[in-house]
């Protein structure tokens, strides 16, 4: 938000320039004041629209649940032959520890800010899911893993008020590139997550 405001200030000052001599001319001062009022009104509308989008119930937004990660291009060597695949990291519950941001399933681009909307898993297996747009959240409790493994999809929950769900970790070569897929029911929820930076 702060970076957005700084960028907007630069655009505002470029749209409504003023020199010290202009301040002495009443007409130019009035024109600048009108320009600044218009810029601030436009910015206020944009911020209100962003706030309304963040507060909108998730039911008003299309829900995309990705069952699998998009295919990655096959790396090749100089002769055009596929490179041998590097061994995937082994994944276990400690690999999930940390804070995760909701992301676009296709591009891995985070769509939430990691401060108000995030999934957090602690080293002792605590689970915390926050999203101010969903009335049933925050959800917190022990992860209490059930059947399955993380690479294929591990069932969890159903204890201490935590809904039942499935976690699947797509472990990359480096932990910072991991993707986590989560589905819950109830409430019906599904999302792709990437690690917060």
Predicted confidence at residue 40, as pLDDT, reads 93
pLDDT at 17 (0 to 100): 85
The mean per-residue pLDDT over the stretch 76-88 comes to 65
pLDDT of residue 86: 53
pLDDT surpasses 80 at 26 = yes
Does pLDDT of 84 surpass 50? yes
Q: Is the pLDDT of residue 67 over 60?
A: no
Average pLDDT of the chain? 79
Better pLDDT: 69 or 89: 89
- What tens digit of pLDDT does each residue of 136-177 get? 888 888 876 666 778 888 888 776 667 788 888 888 888 888
pLDDT category at 6 given cuts 50, 70, 90 is confident
| pLDDT classification of 68: cutoffs 50, 70, 90 | very low
Q: Which residues contact 88 (CB under 8 A, 6 or more apart)?
A: 151, 171, 173
Average pLDDT over residues 39-58: 80
Instruction: State mean pLDDT over 38-51.
Output: 87
pLDDT tops 70 at residue 118: yes
- Enter the tokens of residue 71: 């295919």
Q: What is the pLDDT of residue 41?
A: 93
Domain ranges of the chain: 2-55, 93-195
């Amino acid at each position: 938000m702060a970076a957005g405001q700084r960028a907007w200030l630069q655009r505002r000052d470029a749209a409504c320039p003023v020199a010290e001599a202009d301040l002495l001319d009443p007409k130019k001062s009035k024109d600048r004041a009108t320009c600044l009022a218009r810029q601030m009104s436009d910015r206020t509308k944009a911020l209100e629209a962003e706030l309304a989008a963040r507060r909108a119930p998730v039911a008003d937004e299309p829900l995309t649940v990705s069952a699998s990660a998009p295919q990655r291009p096959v790396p090749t060597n100089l002769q055009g032959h596929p490179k041998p695949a590097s061994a995937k990291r082994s994944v276990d519950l400690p690999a999930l520890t940390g804070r995760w941001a909701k992301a676009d399933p296709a591009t891995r681009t985070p769509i939430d800010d990691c401060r108000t909307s995030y999934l957090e898993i602690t080293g002792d297996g605590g689970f915390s899911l926050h999203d101010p747009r969903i009335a049933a959240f925050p959800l917190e409790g022990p992860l209490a893993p059930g059947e399955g493994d993380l690479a294929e999809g591990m069932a969890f929950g159903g204890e201490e008020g935590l809904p039942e769900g499935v976690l699947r970790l797509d472990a990359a070569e480096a932990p910072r590139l991991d993707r986590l897929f989560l589905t819950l029911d109830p409430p019906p929820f599904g999302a792709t997550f990437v690690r917060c930076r």
